[in-house]
Amino acid sequence: MSFNTSNASDPKSQIMDQIRQEAAVNNARALISKVNGHCFEKCIPSPGTSLSGREERCLSACMEKYIATWNVVSRTYIAQVQKSAGQAGGAGVMDGLGV
C-alpha cells in the first residue's frame, strides 16, 4: 500500500508519507485487536480445540459488521479533520490515508 502522492525527493513529503503509512498500520492493528476481543467474547462462550460451525458463522458476521462500522467511523472522522483543516487554511495530516 503506497500513499506517496508527492515528490519523493522532498524530505517533508517523505516524512508525511511515512506518518500516513504509520497511522494506517496503527489503525489496522487497533481494528484487529478490537475485533478479536469483541467478537471472540461474543461468539465463543467456552473455548475449545476447534470452532463449531455456529461459532465460525458468528465470528464471520461479527467481524464483517465491526469492520464496516469501523470504516464508516473512520471516513467520517477523516472528513471532519479535513474540513477543520480546510477552515483553518491548511492541509490535514490525515489527507490521503484511504481508510
Task: Tell me the pTM.
Answer: 0.56
CA distances from 31 to 37, 67, 70, 78, 91 (A): 10, 8, 8, 16, 26
pLDDT band per the 50, 70, 90 thresholds, residue 87: confident
Convert the pLDDT of each residue in 5-51 to its tens digit. Answer: 445 578 888 898 899 899 889 988 988 888 888 899 999 988 889 99
